[in-house]
Amino acid sequence: MTWGMSAKRGALDLLPWQTVAAVAFLVYAWLAATAWMRPLTLPDEGRYVGVAWEMVRSGNWLIPTLDTLPFFHKPPLFYWLAAGAISTLGHNEWSARLPSLLAATGAAVGLFVFLERWADRTTARTALLVLATTPFFFAGAQFANLDMLVAATITGTLLCSAHVVLAFRHQQSLRRPTLAAAYALAALGVLAKGLIAIAIPVLVIGIWLAAVGELRLILRLVWWPGVVLFALIAVPWFLLTELRYPGFLQYFFIHHHFERYLTAKFNGKQPFWFYAPLFIVITLPWCLFLPWTFRRKHENKVTSDIRLLFWIWLAATLIFFSIPRSKLAGYVLPATPALAALVALGIASHAGTWIGSRINALANASLAAVVCLFGMVGYALFQHKSIERLPPEVRSQVRADDQLLAISRYPFSLGFYLRSDQPILVVDGWDAASIERQDNWRKELYEAAKFDLDRGRRLLLRPSQLEAALCAGRTWVFGNAKESDRLAGLQLMTRSGNDAVWFADPAALGCRRPHEAGPVTPPPASVE
């Protein structure tokens, strides 16, 4: 069989589970090859792994917390998975990244199984090769954040929904178990990142059904047992959290969904066209095959349907995320499976030409694999080492009951690397009106404190409270080296670039005994 020749299978033929397991193992081994090589990237990996670590140390798996303050920017699925991995498999970066690795593996295997069922074996294998070696997808699989997890749930929801549509359209039968899987994956997607896990599948499937003249199938996809299943999975956490913290639903859905999408108040502001050149660069060399992925003459109806599906999937995802001003690269990860499928279909449809030749596909796969490996290894070697990953000789001196204090910064991954049970006191200008206008770590802590005012008062300190905090007990201070004059009486323990760590002993500072010093003055009235 040549590279582009069809190896058709019946739509009802099932892949042996051994084949699926072998594919999953190979994909996971490839994606995980460099996942252990670098410390957590700041701020995203440090933030989300830090929240997961707080679940582990506190035993509170219901409410995500950042510095022990309720943190409701995102739902809890990633935190649950990362906390479970850290608890059972070890306290290291690989465990923290396991949810993303498994999600990427699931997305790749799902695409392989779908194309094996509805296209042919060669196309399925080609798509798997393309997706696994796309630099954007490879890197996304190794980042401990929410992007790959929600991309995988969106991919699964779309593939299951498309399977149901194709089964009815070409076999006049519905697949209830697959439809149930679509609802379950959509619910998990909502628990992974929110309403986006519903919006993208509904948009793509809706446009696709309209394009193939099957809008009537929408009524068959709206399945009440599936709706109940969705609600049973997705609703309880939101309901319990709202009952415990009134105002959570408004904050989560209105502020972090609709305002983020419709306003320019959040970070990552970019022009409308931002994703077009970015997506081309981060999916090289495979994106260069797109001109050969359009419909070919004499194409059968099934192939025509799935080609149209993947084009709508790719275009709708990129356009949807191009509308808001806030744009981050990870948002468009759900578009990568569509790109891989289109490239595979394009290669298969050009059998007998250079584009469809085995040597061309393997040469590009080899080039892409080299880019993936060298990119991640280079990033690991040249990434700035954060002061949060303290030298062993310093880390060994930190006692379990020592205070941790940060000045004008929040060291997201500090608790994870120290395995500390202590929250971090953060000294900054918390009563500054500009905090709410800047989408950064200050705003995250400031908003979190509104859900627990008493704890917020104890943790978020003004500069005038620094001396009292240092006198309250043994304290490790994390800040910028420029703070040296301000902290002249403290012992400098280590420095990395502009970051530095000091140690403060109340006895050496001439403080009164702790019980004489009185409590640290509570903080900013503005936190309320």
pLDDT per residue as tens digits for the range 221-240:
999 999 999 999 999 999 99
| 297: number of Cβ within 10 Å | 5
Instruction: Give tens-digit pLDDT for 310-338.
Output: 999 999 999 999 998 888 889 999 999 99
Q: Which helix (H) or strand (E) holds 216?
A: none
Nearest to 145 by CA among 11, 40, 280: 40
**Cβ(169)–Cβ(120) under 8 Å?**
no
For the chain, how are helix, strand and coil distributed in percent, rounded to 5?
60, 5, 30
Six token digits for residue 473: 């007990």
| Alpha-carbon 470 to chain mean position | 37
d(CA 199, CA 320): 9
Percent of the chain whose pLDDT exceeds 70: 91
Residue whose token pair is 């892949």 = 15
Query: E strands within 26-140?
Result: 65-66, 69-70
Judge contact between 73 and 440, C-beta under 8 A.
Answer: no
Q: List pLDDT tens digits, range 187-226.
A: 999 999 999 999 999 999 999 999 999 898 898 899 999 9
The mean of the pLDDT values for the chain is 88
Whether pLDDT at 138 is above 80: yes
Residue boundaries of the structural domains of the chain = 72-382, 392-527
Task: Give yes or no for a contact between 85 and 98, defined as CB atoms under 8 angstroms apart.
Answer: yes
pLDDT at 9: 47
Query: Residue 374's CB: how many other CB atoms inside 10 A?
Result: 12
CA distances from 152 to 29, 122, 188 (A): 18, 23, 10
Q: Is the pTM of this model over 0.85?
A: yes
Beta-sheet strands, E only, within 22-98: 65-66, 69-70
Give the strand pairing for 460-461 and 424-427.
parallel
**338 and 314 in contact (C-beta within 8 Å)?**
yes
Does the pLDDT of residue 142 top 80, yes or no?
Answer: yes
